[in-house]
Amino acid sequence: MARNYFYDNDNVYTHFIDYPDGIQAPNATTVATPDDETPKWKFNKELNVWELISLELRKEKILKEKFEIIDNQRSHIIFSGFPHQFPNGDIKMVQTRSEKDLIAVLGVTVSGMFLMQTDPTTKISFRSADDTTYQLNGMEAVQLGMNIQMQVSGVYERSWDKKEELRACTTIEEIEAVDLDISK
């Protein structure tokens, strides 16, 4: 009987299928790994042999994939905008679609700080995501910036905490069981 081995783009073994006829299996023995995990194999093209990937390397690869999911989710949350309560009581979304939007919020905040020091009666215009324009005094502009920055920082903190939770896992099963949602 022949065994066909299948592997992903990184040449990491994913599974095998036994066939009566087919490609000969590599001359290697499947061995049990800690925690009864399925062994993973990588084909070394230079040596033309299959090599067993260590459990630690597999965990590193899985962690890297999980971190990428968290980073993508973090970017999506940040670039989706954040709510802010404006001086008239309206709760509206502030656009943070890109770094450019975040820089604009920072600019309003810095302008607000300047106005607080020089002319507390002057107002600065700010437009929410639904195109409603608000006139903010210096303190209100600073409050807007601080509110948005605190929400952005909260998303980063949740992503850091989730990554630390993953790093603390000792088995692949524990890593796979971690809920990656950082939206809450």
Task: Find residue 133's DSSP bridge partners.
Answer: 127
Q: Determine the Cα–Cα distance for residues 87 and 68; give it in Å rounded to an integer.
A: 38
Tell me the pLDDT tens digit for each residue of 17-65: 554 444 344 443 343 333 444 556 666 777 777 666 667 777 888 899 9
User: In whole angstroms, what is the distance from residue 159 CA to residue 73 CA?
Assistant: 9
Rounded (5°) CA angle 77-100-108: 100
SS3 177: helix
Query: Quick one: CA dihedral 96, 101, 102, 106, positive or negative?
Result: negative
For residues 86 and 92, the answer to whether their CB atoms sit within 8 Å is: yes
Alpha helices in 28-137 (DSSP H): 55-78, 99-118
Interaxial angle between packed helices 99-118 and 138-167, expressed in degrees from 0 to 180 and rounded to the nearest 10: 140
Q: The pTM is what?
A: 0.70
Confidence at residue 23, expressed as pLDDT on a 0 to 100 scale: 38
Residue 159 has a pLDDT of: 97
Longest dimension (CA), the chain: 86
Ramachandran sector of residue 89 (left: φ over 0; alpha: ψ -120 to 50; beta: rest): left
Q: What is the mean pLDDT of each run of 10 residues along the chain (184 residues)?
A: 57 55 41 46 71 74 92 95 97 95 95 94 95 97 97 97 96 91 90
Domain boundaries, the chain: 2-53, 58-177
The Cα–Cα gap between 184 and 61 comes to 26
C-alpha–C-alpha distance, residues 60 and 102, integer Å: 33
Specify the residue for token string 């809450």: 184
Taking residue 21's Cβ as centre, other Cβ atoms within 10 Å add up to: 6
Residue position matching structure tokens 């020091």: 117
Nearest to 6 by CA among 21, 134, 22, 60: 22
